[in-house]
Structure 1
């Protein structure tokens, strides 16, 4: 049976088609304005699931990169501080060699001793080095200075050679389940609390050299040069360890950068719109919209007067 098509039906269908054209144009204009193919869950539910996963992985990877930067900065600062400690020990050794001469008068020993006491203060300052407002050589107790600040012969207890630093490690996560300690323990650099005179605790060694100079005991000063050399060797070993960790961080950073580029590329393929395709489709829909308006104008132009002519 034939269906009777009325003017109202044709008008309704025209409006529905024009509305559909406008909807497609609106979707394409959103893609053109945002540069993304997916702007709402309804655009691509499956693609949105992958996009959210990629965003989560990129965010985690960015945090790992920040952790690498923080660990590298801390290790670089620790290496700088240990370099300064090495300079102090080198100067201490030079003074000990001078003080080991038995031909000097007591006034010369006293003059050397004045500088040795200043070296002690300088070493304490290095031991209490702070990076980003936190003490670097006191393990996890970053808010507490590891070494008392009084100099040789000054009242106060305990002294720097009588304390042990915290042994906790400050670890940074570089990947899921992968961590690296970025701090150096003060005991490893300067020596632990003394147990007897055999200790090569740097503060204890400086104190014994100072006492030997004050007593004019050149033989004892000469004997202590070996302790200075032992601590220097230990310091070089710790700097080598820092260098090894820094090199590893450099490799990790390169890997994380590559992962970031890869994830961003995959995310772009999932979320981003093909701009050339969007512009082409938008122009085509604009032409269709203009054509539908033109056809509609001819469709609804007849009126009752036109039929009565």
Structure 2
């Protein structure tokens, strides 16, 4: 038996009208946001790609900002080192003049005073700050001055002069990411930058019968070197030479002691980690005495120095009128220091070249990824307008049809 009345036609009509209204709502939202994907269910695969592209674009933008920052940072560092090179060149000119043998002791003393003023400026460069107020040459320690000045009496001088420049920064170099998985150094260790000569450390302890008591490690210039129980002096030398540390180790054939020599001009940074191997071998002092790089054992003999050590020796020779020292070892040390400083500038220049290519690649990659992202999420406006007009037309037609064909009810006849 058929029912006399039912709401089924009304319910069906309302359902389809609401469905069409939701479609209109989605198209209107797409046009207002200019994006094709409003919800993940609109295009799950496209949404997944879009999220990855958007994340990559964010990283590329950050890499570009990092590169620009490092370029500015390098320009500041290079400017200070360029000034340092000019100062050392002036010191070399004075050294050549003083070594001629045609100047009086008073003239040499006057030259020594000028060299001392230039030394003061070199220390100021070494303690220079960047645009953000942080020290440039202290490694990761950027809040305090990386070099500490010691003053004392110098033969021939009337006032207290610089007698020592101690590095109190560290050797941790900050790394900045400039591309996916690619990093570049944005911090410089002063013991490397202002190293003038190869440093040698000669222990005086006979270690022919030395054995490591228990497993541990020590570090040289930040490179960890592990030792095991029973290691001899020969195995320790082998491990040092096999490591990435810029130093060569050998054994004194007479004293049977350890000798370390840097492979690039800098002051050695040596520390015992677990154990006391370097201290036992007479290379470094106990940790409570001095901190690196000034922790070489008192019994050890060491040579080679920083740029400041070289300049101080030249100045001291001028103060006492030692022309022979100036013309021999003095001029040679200045040449070594100048060559080392120019080499540091060359390294920064090479990194600057890398940054220029990295920035160019970054700027080329951003539009490419942006285009891929746009293909996934951007709305085709013409298609959206056509779809909107179609839905509007069909919606109006449905409303008009509903108004005509929905059956009348009892209420229509109640007067």
Equivalents in 2 of 1:129, 1:226: separation in Å? 27
**TM-score, scaled relative to structure 1:** 0.83
Which secondary structure state, in structure 1, belongs to the residue aligned with residue 315 of structure 2?
helix
Query: What is residue 138 of structure 1 aligned with on the other side?
Result: 138
Equivalents in 1 of 2:371, 2:77: separation in Å? 37
Which secondary structure state, in structure 2, belongs to the residue aligned with residue 173 of structure 1?
strand
Query: What is residue 27 of structure 2 aligned with on the other side?
Result: 28
Q: Deviations over 1:129-176 (max 9, x none)?
A: 22233322222333332211456757699821x547533322223444
- The 3 A distance-change label for structure 1 pair 305 and 121 is closer
Unaligned 5+ residue runs, structure 1? Answer: none
Query: What is residue 376 of structure 2 aligned with on the other side?
Result: 270
The answer as to 2:404 corresponding to 1:298 is yes
**TM-score, scaled relative to structure 2:** 0.64
What's the CA shift for 1:306? Answer: 8.1
Correspondences of 1:1-309 after superposition (within 5 Å): 8-131=7-130, 132-149=132-149, 153=153, 159-160=164-165, 162-163=166-167, 166-191=170-195, 192=266, 199=304, 201-223=306-328, 224-300=330-406
Which secondary structure state, in structure 1, belongs to the residue aligned with residue 147 of structure 2?
coil
Once the two structures are overlaid, the 10-residue window that deviates more, 105-114 or 261-270, is: 105-114
Which secondary structure state, in structure 2, belongs to the residue aligned with residue 159 of structure 1?
strand
- The 3 A distance-change label for structure 1 pair 6 and 285 is farther
Q: How many aligned residue pairs are there?
A: 306
Asked whether the 8 Å contact 1:166–1:185 carries over to 2, the reply is: yes
- The 3 A distance-change label for structure 1 pair 6 and 187 is same
Equivalents in 2 of 1:142, 1:149: separation in Å? 17
Greater fraction of residues in strand: 2
Equivalents in 1 of 2:304, 2:411: separation in Å? 117
- The 3 A distance-change label for structure 1 pair 10 and 197 is closer
- The 3 A distance-change label for structure 1 pair 152 and 81 is farther
CA RMSD of aligned residues (A): 3.3
- The 3 A distance-change label for structure 1 pair 197 and 105 is farther
What's the CA shift for 1:243? Answer: 1.4
- The 3 A distance-change label for structure 1 pair 125 and 306 is closer
Asked whether the 8 Å contact 1:138–1:165 carries over to 2, the reply is: yes
Which secondary structure state, in structure 2, belongs to the residue aligned with residue 134 of structure 1?
coil
Greater fraction of residues in helix: 1
- The 3 A distance-change label for structure 1 pair 305 and 240 is closer
Unaligned 5+ residue runs, structure 2? Answer: 154-158, 196-265, 268-293
Asked whether the 8 Å contact 2:135–2:142 carries over to 1, the reply is: yes
What's the CA shift for 1:31? Answer: 0.4
- The 3 A distance-change label for structure 1 pair 222 and 20 is same
- The 3 A distance-change label for structure 1 pair 198 and 16 is closer
What's the CA shift for 1:307? Answer: 7.9
What's the CA shift for 1:22? Answer: 1.5
Asked whether the 8 Å contact 1:74–1:183 carries over to 2, the reply is: no
Asked whether the 8 Å contact 2:148–2:168 carries over to 1, the reply is: no
Asked whether the 8 Å contact 1:51–1:271 carries over to 2, the reply is: yes
- The 3 A distance-change label for structure 1 pair 29 and 271 is same
Asked whether the 8 Å contact 1:200–1:227 carries over to 2, the reply is: no
What's the CA shift for 1:271? Answer: 1.6
Which secondary structure state, in structure 2, belongs to the residue aligned with residue 123 of structure 1?
helix
What's the CA shift for 1:126? Answer: 0.7
Which secondary structure state, in structure 2, belongs to the residue aligned with residue 148 of structure 1?
strand
- The 3 A distance-change label for structure 1 pair 59 and 10 is same
Asked whether the 8 Å contact 1:172–1:180 carries over to 2, the reply is: yes
